[in-house]
Structure 1
Amino acid sequence: MSTEAETTTPGSEDEYHLDLLGTFHWILAGLAALAGLFPIFHVLFGFIALVASIVGVEGDPEARGLGVVMGIMFMLIGTLIIITFWVIAFCLYLSGSYLKAHKNHTFCMVMAVISCFSFPLGTALGVFTILVLVRPSVRKLFGVA
């Protein structure tokens, strides 16, 4: 009596692992995109400070200038953080798609290393992705020598 694990070939096991890793890359991409929404509060706070400084009729001109600068800084930094998270999320999505399609081995490896910096989920996903991508049979699936 043979079990399913005994009848699988290494190629199909590699394809299964790549498909699973691709799905997890998509999940991490969704989480990164969601986390990228949190700095919207900084942008909103900066906008409120900017408008309050500009519209405020009374007050010290230095204080108004500081309010404008602080509002712009909050909006700029918040926007940059949002864009960074969304770019990483998009790259993780692409990496998941490439893993499923067995394309762009180098890009997938780079994204696996980058995801290692996102502790703890990204670290686990990155390490497992690296371990799968360095297998000779997986390199053959990608067409890498």
Structure 2
Amino acid sequence: MDAAPTPLAPPPLLSLEDQGHLRLLSIFHYVVAGLMALFALFPLLYIGIGLGIVNGWFPANQQAAGANSDLMVGWMFVGMGALFLVVCLTMTSLMVLAGRSLAQRRRYTLCLVVAALSCLFTPFGTVLGVFTLVVLLK
């Protein structure tokens, strides 16, 4: 017949100091996510410039070869800006999810990966990532 599932082991008890550290890390993840969201708006400038080049809003060379290269440069601006925007917004979303997970004391692996990735966002992300790694690997 069916065996009863084994109950999960209770989560380890955290000291008051560890609970305080996780609470602060959760708050700082939200703050850094806000800064990342602000910086994620910069690629919109590149997308706007690229669309301006493609649509002819900026004066360009009237030569046939120049018009083709201007069109290609415009689409490169749009493509790179869109790619950077998607990457930044994805990282911002992951940072918010990690902050929520730290507050709930869940998704340990996700928090570790986001902490490592946040080290790329200097200087705030580096500091937050290092502190998060130190606390989680304790």
User: How far apart, CA to CA, are the structure 2 residues paired with 1:104 and 1:116?
Assistant: 19
SS of structure 2 residue aligned to 1:70: helix
TM-score norm. by structure 1 comes to: 0.79
Q: 1:81 aligns with which of 72, 80, 84?
A: 84
Task: Return the letter of the residue paired with 1:49.
Answer: I
Deviations 1:83-136 (A, max 9, x none): 11111010001000000000010110111111112221111111111111012x
User: How far apart, CA to CA, are the structure 2 residues paired with 1:41 and 1:105?
Assistant: 36
Partner of 2:109: 106
RMSD between superposed Cα atoms in Å: 1.9
C-alpha displacement at 1:38, in angstroms?
0.8
SS of structure 1 residue aligned to 2:98: helix
Partner of 2:124: 121
Higher deviation after alignment, 31-40 or 9-18: 9-18
Q: 1:26 aligns with which of 15, 30, 34?
A: 30
Q: 1:36 aligns with which of 34, 37, 40?
A: 40
Closer, same or farther in 2 for the Cα pair 1:39/1:25, shift >3 Å?
same
User: How far apart, CA to CA, are the structure 2 residues paired with 1:130 and 1:85?
Assistant: 21
C-alpha displacement at 1:10, in angstroms?
5.5
User: How far apart, CA to CA, are the structure 2 residues paired with 1:118 and 1:65?
Assistant: 36
Q: Percent identity?
A: 33
Structure 1 gaps of 5+ residues are 1-8, 136-145
C-alpha displacement at 1:17, in angstroms?
1.0
Q: 2:100 aligns with which of 64, 84, 97?
A: 97
User: How far apart, CA to CA, are the structure 1 residues paired with 2:98 and 2:15?
Assistant: 20
Higher deviation after alignment, 10-19 or 107-116: 10-19
User: How far apart, CA to CA, are the structure 1 residues paired with 2:78 and 2:30?
Assistant: 29
Runs of 4+ in 1 over 6 A off after TM superposition: none
**1:5-20 → structure 2 map (5 Å cutoff):** 11-20=15-24
User: How far apart, CA to CA, are the structure 2 residues paired with 1:113 and 1:45?
Assistant: 33
Partner of 1:64: 67
